Amino acid sequence: MSVLSLIIIAIHFVLLFILCLFGLHRLSMVARWFRYRQHTPKTPKKYNHLPKITVQIPLYNERMVAKRIVDSIVKLEYPQDRLQIQIVDDSTDSTCDLVAERVKFYQMHGIDIEHVQRTNRQGYKAGALKEAMDTASGEFIAIFDADFIPHPDTLLNSIHYFTQSNVAMVQLRWEHLNRRSSLLTKTQAIMLDAHFSLEQQVRSFAGMLFNFNGTAGIWRTSAIIDAGHWSADTLTEDLDLSYRAQLAGWKMIYLNNIPCPGELPADMNAFKTQQYRWAKGGVQVMMKMLPTVWKSKIALSKKIESTFHLSNNLAYFVMLVDTLFFLVPSLFLRDKYDYLNVWWVDIPLLLMSSGGHLIYLYWGQIALNRSKSRALVKVPNLVMLGIQLAINNSKAGLEALLGRQSEFVRTPKTGELQDAAQAPADSAAVSNASPVTRYKAAPPRGAIFECVIAGVYAVVLMWAVSHQHWFMLPFLLLLTIGFVTSAIHSFYNHYQLSK
């Protein structure tokens, strides 16, 4: 066997081992959850006099949900003389008029609410939040995206955790307004449930660095300023600020017991748009903050955990590079030189890498006391969705590694409220019922490439069958079907929205 052949096979196993490490880290989250599952933040000392809070609602072309969020936010149960509401609106469409009408209506009823608009979109969401703070009068800033509907008692239930003077931010657990809307939203909900019920819970109570999720959270105003303020040099300004604040000595708290319902992307294109932004932004923050993390004086365990946290979005890129450039050549080479008997190395690594993620996602449902059987039934959907995101998120990670900048593309919302059990009691009153044209998600630029990749795997699948390499069939079959269905969903949803 030539040196080049050995290098190709070696790289394949190195990449597979890296994926295995990501899978084992997910398994460690499940294991650590058993230690921290009963942990809740200490009951805070109550404020004698409630501090002033500024509630910021960042908007950009959100006419499907704009009225709903404004009508919801004014129902927050907090002393009116202690509450300021800012609708931070960068919209360029009819959303501006809709918001202006609702703001004027509530101002006439004595509510401290203002419509903060900019003449440009510089810095996107981070820029809008930063500029709005010039007129924010609250000692604390509560942030809710336009597609979230906080319960009326949300502020009263969470503000007292700030009686600890070193607390910078309190993050609430996301729930999902349209969880049962479709198979896609059900699968997304399982993915997010694991992030909150396992990752956020474990990292928070283990004293590790964790992140504000961009919405459904409250910040101490002085902490934002002390950490260097909002920055728009990454697409995930929330993750960036979280790390800068914690490295500056501030503490953050995750409240698993206080939920805040929000809307999940309703179609595959919208979902990919959101995942692309999160994946690219996550890698951007990794490149920006990871050197600082390792130079800091925090414990080694925190540095290692932060490395996994900030680099996890590269797992898709590693998987795609391996399967496209090294798996197939290594199969041919091992077949040529009769080294396919080392499949017993592939199988354990594949099981640990993919199995670790699936157990993590499944256990996220157990952590929230959801149906175990329903979660188990959704496992195949989780596998398929992961494959369907591979090219989308790999491209995002690669662009971040290459330093390519892109604009902050907001995720289209529909304003639907399907999950009555998790929506606020008055959700029917605040839902947008009037039929209007939906926003369109980004065109499926990667769909054709997904078809091409599916064709490549189909050819390899037929080769594996003809050479009776049966151990590779399930893996190749899942990849082929995953990329085909992803492309079909993208084309179909784009066609539906363009009609």
The SS3 of residue 157 is helix
CB atoms within 10 A of CB 96: 19
CA distance 27 to 20: 10
Assess contact for 275 and 192: CB atoms under 8 A.
no
40-49's contacts with Cβ under 8 Å and 24+ in sequence apart are 40/256, 40/257, 41/161, 41/253, 41/255, 44/160, 44/161, 44/162, 44/163, 44/164, 45/160, 45/163, 46/160, 46/163, 47/159, 47/160, 47/163
CA distance 66 to 357: 36
Residue in 255, 284, 250 with CA at minimum distance from that of residue 408: 284
Which residues in 9-21 are b (16+ Cβ under 10 Å) and which e? bebbbebbebbbe
Assess contact for 169 and 219: CB atoms under 8 A.
yes
CA distance 77 to 98: 24
Assess contact for 177 and 417: CB atoms under 8 A.
yes
Q: How many residues does the chain have?
A: 499
What amino acid positions are annotated as catalytic residues? 90, 238
Enumerate residues 6+ apart whose C-beta is below 8 A from 90.
58, 59, 60, 117, 118, 121, 124, 128
